[in-house]
Amino acid sequence: MKAVIISKFGPPEELHLAEMEKPIANDDQVVIKVMAAGINPVDTKIRSGNHISSKNLHLPAILGKDVSGIIDSVGKNITYFKPGNAVFGCNSTGKTYAEFTLADPDSIVKKPEEMSFEEAAAAPLASLTAYQAINDHLKLKPDQKVLIQAAAGGVGHLAVQFAKINGAYVYGTASAKNTEFLKQLGIDEVIDYKNERFEDKVPPLDAVLDAIGGEVLYRSIACVKPGGTIVCLPSSTKDDPKALALAIKHRVKLIWPMMYLNKDQLQLIADLLEHDKLKVEIDSVFPLEDIIQAHKAIESHDTKGKIVVRI
């Protein structure tokens, strides 16, 4: 089968096409014929060697987590899925930049019929990350005030929607060109981060979802009420000493979450997508052969929504 692999860590140019053996399912796995794969920031960090999981990655390796496709074959213990089922999910075994991939059945659900494979591939990891940030960690309630940094990004635009589903009042930072897009998603106020300081635009907040880190995180801490919470998405900022000191000073709780697979949550996301109660935005779709350009696009930090490759 055709797959994109890395033979060593480094820039996007280390990604290249290769011929690999088609995977074979064990008794408790399925093989998916991949139609599309979502690209996530974690993929670029693993590729560069700057992610904790890079240490245990045996090269050459196929990257990728998000997948949508058609069940090709199933192990003898699998009863819920059958060959021909259209599915999507956040593949626990990874290796989705390929024509076929193995999957744990608990990491996938059936794809809504009206959804394209590209839309389905864009949803899983970012949706689970956003859902868990808003519901598991921030526990947002009606009328609470939250600031979502990078609100038009892959996780951000989904977090906006989950926060509004919970009835929160949502502020978000984004470039001015994305204001109308975010308004369509229901955001209450958009702050143009290029021309406005969010500190001057928000009242004391109950919560912040930060996808940036560094100075943005430090400035965010001062905006949160004592007893409030900030979810910090960049794992590279974990236990930042300056952030921890500021959090103690302002009596703010900092959480660096690790997204976990939850089939019930993934099914909930599928149901919301199917009934148009959640929208996943796709910035660009690249053919697999242009995977280098796809990684460069996501590393530009100037995309609206998600990047997807079509297999």
pLDDT of residue 161: 98
Write out the DSSP string of 26-66.
-TT-EEEEEEEEEE-HHHHHHHHT-SGGGGGPPSSEE---E
Structural domains in the chain, CATH included, are: 2-123+280-310 (3.90.180.10), 126-255 (3.40.50.720)
The 10s digit of each residue's pLDDT in 239-273 is 899 999 999 999 999 999 999 999 999 999 999 99
pLDDT of residue 232: 96
Q: What is the pTM of this model?
A: 0.94
> Is the CB of residue 295 less than 8 Å from the CB of residue 47?
yes
DSSP summary character for residue 289: G
Phi-psi region of 12 (alpha: psi -120 to 50; beta: other; left: phi over 0): alpha
pLDDT of residue 219: 97
Going by C-alpha positions, the residue among 271, 310, 308, 306 that lies closest to residue 155 is 306
The 10s digit of each residue's pLDDT in 168-208 is 999 999 999 999 999 999 999 999 999 999 999 999 999 99
> Is the CB of residue 267 less than 8 Å from the CB of residue 80?
no
Q: Which residues of the chain have pLDDT under 70?
A: none
> Is the CB of residue 88 less than 8 Å from the CB of residue 68?
yes
Calculate Rg over the CA atoms of the chain: 19
pLDDT of residue 95: 94
Structure tokens at 19: 């011929």
> Is the CB of residue 186 less than 8 Å from the CB of residue 172?
no
